[in-house]
A and B are shown apart, each in its own frame.
Chain A
Amino acid sequence: MSHHIVEVKHLHHVYPDGTVALRDVSFTIHHGESVAVIGANGAGKSTLLLHLNGYLSPTSGEIRIGDFPLTRKTLPEIRRTVGMIFQDADDQLFMPTVFDDVAFGPFNLGLSGEEVKLRVKDVLEQVGATHLLGKPPYHLSGGEKKRVAIATVLAMSPDILVMDEPTSGLDPYARRQLLGLLRDFHHTRIFTSHDLDMVLELCERTIILHQGRVKADGPTRRIFGDDALLAECRLEKPFSMQGCPVCGSRK
């Protein structure tokens, strides 16, 4: 299915204040791939992801989602295809209750009241937030907000899932749950994370951004095996690839 391809060509982005956040970024992600974008703080990860659903527009370069170049005309269609979870869940929740918030998207898709109810129940169950149904989003804990934010996007059944640090702020159990959920999601997944163990578990492919440039792009195992590269990009090996701190043995 060619319409789940994400293609970024020579993408540059300069913020209005002159900060060059992305320099000549290019890659192609195919349908069903699970790709991690990693890099130090300020490397440009969030900036890159915000381009994928048109929130930011390239200073130069091109983005294609499926068969369409990302333009003003294709934007509504592309936004429906690309489900995006922001780094800050507060930006994503805006309705008076969790139910209303999750139902917002499905209603816009034109589903009937009953169907919407079913879907809301379903996605809240997937993220383990059913008990929050009637609560106002602003009275949730950080991790609960994150889970509801993920539910709001899943409720749209997107073809491509783009997530900016999905596991930050989640407790170990919720993180496990999210990992399972992402593994079961069979469409294209792209996410940034500082949780390198998650990257190792979920992604066959990793892209390293360093100061706005693609520093490496390849199989996750190979990238995490390159100590020099990791050190240069202010990264470390995932814990599961490091020696055991107690007995010193390697996995």
Chain B
Amino acid sequence: MRAIDGAVADLKRLDLLATGDSVMHRLDARAKVLTTLVFIISVVSFGRYEFTALFPFFIYPVVAASLANLPGGYLIKKIAMVIPFAFVVGMLNPLFDRQPMAQLGPLAVSGGWISCASIIVRAVLTVGAAFILVGMTGFLSVCQALERLGTPKPFTVQLLFLYRYIFVLTEEGARASRARELRSCGRKGLGLSSFGSLIGHLLIRTWLRAERIHMAMLARGFTGEFHSGQLTRFGARELFFVLGWSALFVILRLENAASFMGRLLAGLLT
């Protein structure tokens, strides 16, 4: 189960990336949250058969990640993890939707395949943007930003706990399955029955531990508010950042960039 251990440590690395220092890191968290929201809404609001129009959107994650000095290989690996899930969601489309929509050489591509591919690309874009947001801001600051943007406090606190809970759960999971593996003497576990009780244990242990951690937070004066060193200001730089990117997203959303360029070119030539 080193696999699980590794995956958790890897996820936590995302949290650590946020301690870096770069132009993007220094930006007020609210600006980054807003921009990411506009990005996600633009991407998600496309029609289900839209495929090529999605690609220009990759510019944002690529630019943001490189400005923030986030390690590209690591991000790509993490983001690639969502592809199987997205595929499961879109899997049935090719079966039900067999109408040919596009011609790829001699191959007729059905609408189902296009919408399935579209779902995958959208998942990669939105999850990628969210990952990069956390990587260049830190989850705590994201929650803080949401709160300062007017999200009700109970909601942001729950969000933060949920995030922590994932770590607690995976950590406990890694420990429990390590113990099980060590005692199964190289055989493939001890069958389904031990797995069942392991899951039961896991939930109780996670629950108890989450409670103790909550207790530790209360003991240190936690009242549902998150403080951090300095609150950054939403200045001209932030405004420019949000407006600039949002304008680009809206244009990319409303105009298919590829065909737009084509028309522009055609217009220039005639």
Contact = CB atoms under 8 A, between A and B. Distances in A.
A107 B230 CA distance: 11
A97 B212 contact: no
Nearest to A109: B221
A143 interface: no
Nearest to B228: A107
Interface residues of B, number: 27
A96 B215 contact: no
Given A55-B215, A116-B229, A138 B12 contact: yes
A250 B221 CA distance: 49
Contacts of B227: 107-108
Nearest to A162: B219
Contacts of A91: 209, 212-213, 215-216
B18 interface: yes
Chain B binding site: helix, strand, loop or mixed by DSSP?
helix
A226 to B, nearest CB: 36
B240 interface: no
Residue among A91, A100, A116 with the highest chain B CB neighbour number at 10 A:
A91
B220 A96 contact: no
Interface string B152-177: 00000000000010000001000000
Q: Which of B15, B171, B215, B219 has the most CB of A within 10 A?
A: B219
A161 interface: no
Contact of B221 (A80, A116, A134, A138): A80
Contact of A104 (B18, B220, B230): B220
B217 A97 contact: no
B163 to A, nearest CB: 11
Contact of B213 (A79, A83, A94, A156): A94
Interface string A75-118: 01001101110101011101111001001110111000100110
Contacts of B18: 96
Nearest to A134: B19
Contacts of A192: none
B16 interface: yes
A230 B134 CA distance: 56
Contact of B220 (A97, A105, A116): A105
Contact of A152 (B9, B15, B220, B228): B220
Q: Of residues B18, B140, B215, B217, which shows the largest number of chain A Cβ atoms within 10 Å of its Cβ?
A: B215
Interface centre among A104, A134, A138 (most CB of B within 10 A): A104
A66 interface: no
B195 to A, nearest CB: 24
A90 B222 CA distance: 18
Interface of B: 9, 12, 15-16, 18-19, 138, 140, 164, 171, 209, 212-213, 215-223, 225, 227-230
Given A88-B212, A92-B213, 10 more contacts: A76-B223, A90-B209, A94-B164, A96-B15, A96-B16, A96-B18, A96-B140, A117-B229, A138-B12, A156-B221
